[in-house]
Amino acid sequence: MQIKVLGSGCANCKKLYKLVQDAVKELGRDDEIIYVTDMAEIAMAGVMRTPALIIDGAVRVSGRVPKLDEIKELLNAAR
C-alpha cells in the first residue's frame, strides 16, 4: 500500500507524517510512506488544503490532522 502525506512542511504536516509512521508501525505493516511538499504535485492530487493524507491514490483526509486511531482505521479500511 502506498501512503502519501501532502503538505508544505508546516508543523501540522510534519505531525501528520509522524502519526502515519506511528500508525503503520503499531499495525505491524510495511507500507510505503511518502512525504510530498511539492505544491504542483499537491495541486495535481486535487488537494486544496493541507495537510492531506492519500491512501492508494484516494484522498482520505484534507485540511486537518486526524488522531492516531482514525489513521489506523483508514489504513485498515483501505486494505
**Active centre residues (catalytic):** 10, 13
**Residue given cell 501540522 in the structure block:** 12
3-state secondary structure of 33: strand
- Note if the bond before 66 is cis, omega within 30 degrees: no
* Burial (0-12, 13-18, 19+ Cβ within 10 Å), 70: middle
